[in-house]
Structure 1
Amino acid sequence: MGRVLALDYGRKRTGIAVTDELQLIASGLTTVSTFELLDFLKQYTQDEKVVRFVVGEPRQMNNMPSESETFIAPFLIQLNNNFPNIPIARQDERFTSKMAVQTMIEGGLKKKQRRNKALVDEISATLILQAYLNTIQ
């Protein structure tokens, strides 16, 4: 089948999660500097069969796009231009950062570990991906 790769896109860094080949399980992959994101994705898609990108869609409580969408939109164009054969889906990402921190608390991580924003971004990407998988299964 191929993998689905999710991105929790941010100005400084982007959390990345990926499914298994059967698209059953979402797992955190890594967090990379947003500046290096396209290079990372080019290498990853050479090594693994990626059949879809899922990019978090920041929304406000009234369901309007968040101001963060203004810097995600140009990235989506770049993503599509660099990977024209891989479709892009969007997934609501409201509350994923809060849910990621709660997951870290429940997992027993110490306060210092929970301040690791890269880990929060990776877990957020995993939550985005799992929410997407729940909508297609």
Structure 2
Amino acid sequence: MGRLLAIDYGKIRTGIAITDELKLIASGLTTVNTKELFSFLNSYLSKEKVDAIIVGEPKQMNNTPSESEALIIPFLKKLNLTFPKTPVKRVDERFTSKIAFQSMIDSGLGKKQRKNKALIDEISATIILQTYLDQK
């Protein structure tokens, strides 16, 4: 039984989250430099069985794609070409960064830690993955 892997794709950094093998719990895995994302994914997918990759879908309030979707489309094409046997699913990622930041406040992280954009990206990926799990 494989895991689900979620990606909060960004121009500079990409947050990554993963489920347990039973696909019950979403946990932050890491944040990688986007330029190194495919190297990371090649390494990770060669070691772990991943049943699907969940990619955040940025939308505006009126449900139209946000500007950052233009960056994600070429990434998705390369992802499908590189890992053709791994299904890619999309999840609306509206408000994930705000929810991630609020969760950092709620968990008692100090100001310095809340400025850690890599941590926000990782938490955002976790929220994307948990949203997907909740919808199933």
Residue number in structure 1 paired with 2:55: 55
Could you list the runs of 4 or more consecutive aligned residues of structure 1 that deviate by over 4 angstroms after TM superposition?
none
Match of 1:32 in 2: 32
Aligned counterpart, 2:107:
107
Provide the rounded CA distance (Å) in 1 between the counterparts of 2:87 and 2:69.
Answer: 19
How far did residue 100 of structure 1 move?
0.3
Aligned equivalents of 2:111 and 2:11: distance in 1? 24
Q: 2:67 matched to which residue of 1?
A: 67
Q: Is 1:81 matched up with 2:85?
A: no
Alignment RMSD, CA only? 0.4
For residue 25 of structure 1, report the CA deviation from its aligned partner.
Answer: 0.3
**Runs of 5+ consecutive residues of structure 2 not aligned to the other structure:** none
For 1:62 and 1:23, the matched residues in 2 are separated by 31
CA distance in 2, matches of 1:66, 1:82: 25
Give the Cα–Cα distance (whole angstroms) in 1 for the partners of residues 70 and 46 of structure 2: 29
1:126 aligns with 2:120: no
The count of residues paired between Structure 1 and Structure 2 equals 136
Q: Distance in 1 between matches of 2:96 and 2:12?
A: 17
TM score, norm. by length of structure 2: 0.99
